[in-house]
Structure 1
């Protein structure tokens, strides 16, 4: 795995990116006072409530609560993962993303990385050319037509043909040792005997796999007719391809739909393209592996409704169960997971060609809610007519229910479980590790003096200079003091730091969500009074720390006794607090 992206580079990237220009190029902004406004791109609204601040380099929607910096916007708007968002912003600025050295291997340059993607694209084009011009082209095209695919769909998905010769790709694209080595490293060629290289894919219909940015990163090859070998042959993992992270057809689905109301997970490449041929352009497939947690996270970042479509046999139901388990932690309020099981002997490819788009989509409209699938699976191994069976069902179900972040879903699941085992909802609710306890705390989010000071400093970093930096206050163990001092230290280190850059320092920390709330807190303090207000808040906190230390010393004096220095400190504190 590549090393981490240095924090200094992320700060530089945010410093060089103007969030107003970034967002304006995507959705269009209008000046509104010192900030900019637009209708929110993350929910439907008629009156603009989406605000972008150039000073803070931060956006916030007062309607749906979406907020963040330039990286967050790229992640949410372009549906990118964190690293992809960094790379996309860097590309806009013609910057190369550096990596910290962790593996001992030299980091690949931007040009070397580009060379990998260029080679994959050249390979896809080579396969496309062979589909039309190889000596076997007539038979291959007849096979494609026989599967019901049009030239338009073939072109959209870059479908091609890998010739049956041993080294046709290598002869075309690898003309020197470095290029041959690159083919081997990207798993486009194999070498069992040193110096004797041969193509990895031969005599197969080829499906290029594109990442979220549309770059070809791997291939899936399907046998045609009665040819021998595994039905599908997939690219092994490489430095640019990790199958647990990619979904076949996701890029094409995003290109075909301005907004994806739902996404359909199917099992094979041919299912995806056959559905697209019939106008169902929102299907994706896992790449020769079970649907992973990363797949589910990607899908629920893209849409609110995910429908899993599997065969009705044992293998299909096992695949559905794995998908369900991996999706539970993504089921927040507003997100839905449903399942469709097809008749025996049918797959989406065959069924959609038999019954057409409308009838097939009517099956999707009748998809089962995940809760029914969950309890049906659990009940297979539990006899709820016996106490031991009820105990097993409870034992199996509660850990799964605890994974669900939606309070609404949790309550429904607990209610169903209670009915099955003859308990009350209240009895079971106590046994659920409810992730929404934190949500309930957030709903009661009150701005204390500490939070107020942190919020003001976060929104106006230059306030850090208005009070003395006293790292010794961290020893007082007052809740929030360490965070306040850390923020002040960051601001003092970089006098031009923005709200966006401060927040980015905490993205992977437990404090991130609370800081995001404070970054958009409407404090109501006039600009000319900000410094005095902050000083007063800081003085209040300083007094809290002094009181805490004073009480600590008094208790120690009565129990263990104080050293000479501690007695002097206590006297000084007592005198200071009397003022």
Structure 2
């Protein structure tokens, strides 16, 4: 379709820009113009101006500039043609049709939009009627408010094979079948697709209903039923709630991706409006590409159960072949057995906000999943890990990105299984033989006011070893209360386990491993604790199974190494922050002092890494 500049200019001239913008932003008259607080960045004093005579808006704060069409694309998140069509409908202008066949397809789609709008109205009427009592009770039990019910357009489909068909008969049976509202099997009479279900409308980016999702009320399968693919609806290319999430993401610079529409609705009600969901399938390449048009690194917030984590990994692997510079995926791990709605209802919106504030990167997600896939206690299983990682790297089409992934995975593999060589002596470090970790480097603390230590990435693997060591040597927990209280683990399941260990140690004066496990058996983190007792995760001395007649020197060695590992892993975040700040100063103003400070911190970082390598090298000679 070719739209002439003259036609587009006529369209712009028929739209009153201040009225259009005023529907979503509070505008005030200011002389011959209008002003408002800019919707593209946070501000308290209006710097956003609208000029109806010239037909443009401009922000003197962030530089946002455009006309009516760009307002619809940038703020509403519509595609160019969708924006033009919406504005043309408001201006009562006909959009030129490209050719007769395209015009015919457009006419069919327009007719189906009418059918879907009529179906939505009918479902809402049934929801508000006598038969909708069970649907209303279900939403009330889930904590869905009246305003959310209205905003998302919940409806109800009665348990009948022909009520919808009869109610919408004026639209024609063929249209109802093509819209996916009726099922036609061979020569049998068509019947209603959705029966006895809570109805959730699925909308396109312009807010028009194009499909439905139905949740069964009571017993029956499937639990959730979506419309089939139609001329309006392509399940693999559509994202639920995109019409509301797109403008919200312009304000937050973020998109959250959850597993299903009920999760998206619960998050939106809790204040996270920038949330979308796929529709009954794993996140597809088309959906990832669609999200990347809004943000460069969407955050996937899938359920904490096995199915949710498998779905997250499938999305990660689908993203690898289409990765491009600056575009990736981020992840958060929800507590086992919980979805976003469960977490918010049990711990509040702040708990979810804390998780998405520190998401896991794509490379870290893949490493974590493959590292935890099997016990790495033989050369063969370690080689298997290396092969799986190599296979993933080969899937990356962009060779520059593939190179960085290969280097990252290789560094982690080397750190996990092999000692680094001392460049000064070309000798492998020998743990606890005259080499002591410099205490001055342990003094680094995080720069924020909370004084907490966020442990993520490779350090999270080390933290697993530390937790396993605390389980094997629970008598040492009380010696590190202050440091352990300050640790914040990016993995929520590990964080819960750490809290349980602290609580048990505070309530018991004497404690051994078996007694600790007996107490943990009554909690949800027992299986996590048992998994950490595998000595093959990291070869720390304190992860080794101690015989009953173990010499006191061996036990003391384990306790000493455990204390030092805790110091190292809690000190490193502060060191990283100090190094980042020093690097920034060097880039801003290279002086001899700033360069020397940067190099000193780099050496300290290397010493951290070397000491962790030392600690993983088990030496039976004391």
TM-score, with length taken from structure 1 = 0.58
For 2:17 and 2:265, how far apart are their aligned partners in 1? 33
Q: 2:260 aligns with which of 239, 245, 268?
A: 268
Offset, 1:131: 1.4
Provide the C-alpha distance between the structure 1 equivalents of 2:56 and 2:395, rounded to a whole number of angstroms.
38
Gap change, CA 1:262 and 1:48, over 3 Å in 2: same
1:49 deviates by: 11
Change beyond 3 A, Cα 1:220–1:11: same
Distance 1:317 1:258, change over 3 A: closer
Seen in structure 2, the aligned counterparts of structure 1 residues 315 and 156 have a Cα distance that, compared at 3 Å, is same
* 59 and 351 in structure 1: CA distance in 2 versus 1, 3 angstrom threshold: closer
Change (3 A) 1:396 1:60: farther
Distance in 1 (alpha carbons) for counterparts of 2:317 and 2:28 = 41
CA distance in 1, matches of 2:344, 2:188: 47
Alignment map for 1:143-542 (pairs within 5 Å): 143-175=138-170, 179-192=172-185, 194=187, 196-225=189-218, 227-253=219-245, 259-303=251-295, 306-327=298-319, 329=322, 333=326, 337-377=329-369, 380=373, 390=386, 393-394=389-390, 396-397=392-393, 399-400=395-396, 402=398, 413=405, 415-420=407-412
Q: CA deviation at 1:157?
A: 0.9
Cα distance, 1:386–1:194 mapped onto 2, change above 3 Å: closer
- 1:304 and 1:398 map into 2 onto residues whose CA distance is 22
Partner in structure 2 of residue 524 of structure 1: none
* Unaligned ranges ≥5, structure 1: 1-5, 424-579
- 8 Å contact from structure 1 (residues 304, 336) kept in 2: yes
Q: Which of residues 121, 126, 130 is equivalent to 2:117?
A: 121
Q: Go from structure 1 to structure 2 and tell me whether the alpha carbon gap of 1:411 and 1:18 turns closer, same or farther (over 3 Å shift).
A: farther
Q: Distance in 1 between matches of 2:355 and 2:106?
A: 49
Tell me, yes or no, if the aligned pair for 2:48 and 2:57 is still in contact at 8 Å.
no
**SS across alignment from 1:310:** coil
Assess if the C-alpha contact under 8 Å between 2:214 and 2:225 holds in 1. yes
SS class of match (1:417):
helix
Please state whether the residue corresponding to 2:184 is helix, strand or coil.
Answer: strand
Q: Distance in 2 between matches of 1:404 and 1:22?
A: 48
Stretch of structure 1 that moved more, 42-51 or 249-258: 42-51
Q: Does 2:79 align with 1:85? A: no
Shift in Å at residue 75 of structure 1?
A: 2.9
Runs of 5+ unmatched residues, structure 2: 416-622
> Matched residues in 1 for 2:403 and 2:14: separation?
42
Q: Describe the shift of the 1:325–1:393 C-alpha distance in structure 2 as closer, same or farther (beyond 3 A).
A: closer
Q: Are the counterparts in 2 of residues 162 and 202 from structure 1 also a CA contact under 8 Å?
A: yes
> 1:306, CA displacement in angstroms?
2.1
Shift of 1:271: 1.5
Q: 2: CA distance between counterparts of 1:280 and 1:51?
A: 29
Contact 1:261-1:305 at 8 Å conserved across structures: no
What does residue 74 of structure 2 align with?
Answer: 76
Q: Secondary structure at the match of 2:194?
A: coil
Q: Which residue of 1 aligns with 2:440?
A: none
**Deviation of residue 279 (structure 1)?**
3.5
Contact kept in structure 2, 1:378 and 1:397, CA below 8 Å: no
Contact 2:15 2:87 in 1 (8 A): no
The answer as to 2:104 corresponding to 1:107 is: yes
The Cα offsets for residues 295-347 of structure 1, whole Å up to 9 and x where unpaired, read as: 233333334652211123443233212323455657654x6732122233222
**CA 1:51–1:254: 2 relative to 1, 3 Å:** closer
C-alpha deviations, 1:107-160, integer Å up to 9, x for none?
A: 1455x54432232122112111111214x3333322222222222221111111
SS in structure 1 at match of 2:160: coil
- Secondary structure of the structure 2 residue equivalent to 1:161: strand
| Number of residue pairs the alignment of both structures matches | 404
Deviation track 1:260-318 (CA, whole Å, cap 9, x = no partner) reads: 34322111222222333434333321111221233233333334652211123443233
1:418 CA displacement = 4.2
Which structure is higher in RCO with an 8 Å CA cutoff and minimum separation 6? Answer: 1
Counterpart check, 1:132 vs 2:128: yes
Listed one character per residue, the Cα deviations across residues 489-518 of structure 1 (whole Å, up to 9, x for unaligned) are: xxxxxxxxxxxxxxxxxxxxxxxxxxxxxx
State which drifts further: 148-157 or 36-45: 36-45
Report deviation, 1:106. Answer: 6.6
C-alpha displacement at 1:393, in angstroms? Answer: 3.4
The alignment partner of 2:138 has SS state of helix
Q: Judging changes above 3 Å, is the alpha-carbon distance between structure 1 residues 321 and 11 closer, same or farther for their aligned structure 2 residues?
A: farther
Work out whether 1:16 is the aligned partner of 2:15: no
Deviates more, 1:347-356 or 1:16-25: 16-25
- TM-score between the two structures when normalised by the length of structure 2: 0.54
Q: Distance in 2 between matches of 1:222 and 1:168?
A: 18
CA RMSD of aligned residues (A): 4.6
User: Alpha-carbon deviations, 1:380-415, whole Å to 9, x = none?
Assistant: 59979977865663453154272788xxxx886454
Partner residue of 1:549? none
Which secondary structure does the structure 2 equivalent of 1:259 belong to? helix
Deviation of 1:89 after TM superposition, in Å, equals 4.3
User: 2:383 and 2:263 mapped to 1: Cα distance?
Assistant: 44
> Any idea what SS the aligned residue of 1:341 has?
coil
Name the stretch that deviates more: 18-27 or 204-213: 18-27
Distance 2:148 2:117 in 1: 18
